[in-house]
Amino acid sequence: MRVLVVEDDADLRRQLKGGLEEAGYAVDVAADGEEAEFLGGSEPYDVIVLDLGLPKVDGVTVLERWRDDGMEAPVLILTARDRWSEKVAGFDAGADDYLTKPFHTEELLARLRALMRRAAGHASAMLEVGDLSVDTRSARAFVDGEAIKLTSHEFKLLRYLAHHAGEVISRSELVEHIYDQDFDRDSNTIEVFVGRLRKKIGADRIETVRGLGYRLIPPEAAGAA
Ligand code: CA
């Protein structure tokens, strides 16, 4: 899952990027409203953290422009404690959630997980595909209740596929949602990771749809489509 962090305070920006990367997300950052508007309008983020007090273009305006352009990623706004009217303006502009500064990184992470899974149509933090379970809180996966040892890249790939279980996901979509913009993106690496994942969770769980991409399915459904 890929996250955009928009924050003009350099310390907080660094802290957020570090915390999110530690939690296994690909993270891009923007330090002002102009950069934010550009990145949010051109890259496919799974969730966006948007500070409202920004140089160049303020956060509410950025959010309004994104929504006017049809940008659908869930957005969590960061507001100052005493600025209740900012929250109202933020929600009216299309925000999905908010946090008041200062906040605990753990709370931010929990709120972002909730936003991403709701955007993908899941009510629970545990994503289930047949007997495969992907725990988005602990970053662990289980087959038939048994923990599977995955590297962080394998987990990122599996988590994205599990959020979109049953859907065909192209290699380029996987690359865009698993790596940040600075990563040297080679879609061949996706093939390698899919191969490794198949060895660990069972080859028939990740279906290759020729010319289109991959689909995470329960094993009993393999070959049915
Ligand atoms: Ca600010």
pLDDT at 221: 67
Measured in Å, residue 88 CA sits from the centre of ligand 1 at 17
| 3-class secondary structure, 84 | helix
Beta strands in 8-139 (DSSP E): 26-30, 47-51, 75-80, 97-101, 126-129, 132-135
Task: State which of 120, 148, 174 marks the end of a domain.
Answer: 120
Measured in Å, residue 44 CA sits from the centre of ligand 1 at 24
Which structure tokens are listed for 42? 């051109």
State mean pLDDT over 61-72: 96
Measured in Å, residue 161 CA sits from the centre of ligand 1 at 34
Is there a single domain that holds both residue 116 and residue 6?
yes
Which structure tokens are listed for 73? 């990623």
Q: Give, to the nearest 10 degrees, the angle between helix 33-42 and helix 59-68.
A: 20
Is there a single domain that holds both residue 162 and residue 67?
no
Q: What is the domain-level CATH number for residue 174? A: 1.10.10.10
Measured in Å, residue 8 CA sits from the centre of ligand 1 at 5
Measured in Å, residue 14 CA sits from the centre of ligand 1 at 14
Measured in Å, residue 98 CA sits from the centre of ligand 1 at 14
Candidate from 10-14, 60-64, 122-126 with smallest mean pLDDT: 122-126
Rounded Cα distance between 25 and 21, Å, is 5
Measured in Å, residue 53 CA sits from the centre of ligand 1 at 4
Measured in Å, residue 83 CA sits from the centre of ligand 1 at 12
| 3-class secondary structure, 86 | helix
Is there a single domain that holds both residue 85 and residue 142?
no
Tell me the pLDDT of the chain averaged across its residues: 93
Structure confidence by residue, pLDDT tens digits, 10-38? 999 999 999 999 999 999 999 999 999 99
Is there a single domain that holds both residue 158 and residue 67?
no
Q: What is the pTM of this model?
A: 0.86
Is there a single domain that holds both residue 194 and residue 116?
no
Measured in Å, residue 177 CA sits from the centre of ligand 1 at 26
User: In total, how many domains does the chain have?
Assistant: 2
Measured in Å, residue 99 CA sits from the centre of ligand 1 at 13
- Phi and psi for 96 in degrees, rounded to 5? -105, -20
What residues make up the domain containing 207? 126-221
Measured in Å, residue 69 CA sits from the centre of ligand 1 at 24
Measured in Å, residue 12 CA sits from the centre of ligand 1 at 10
Q: What percent of the chain has pLDDT over 70?
A: 97
pLDDT at 223: 53
First-to-last alpha carbon distance for the chain, in angstroms, is: 27
pLDDT at 126: 92
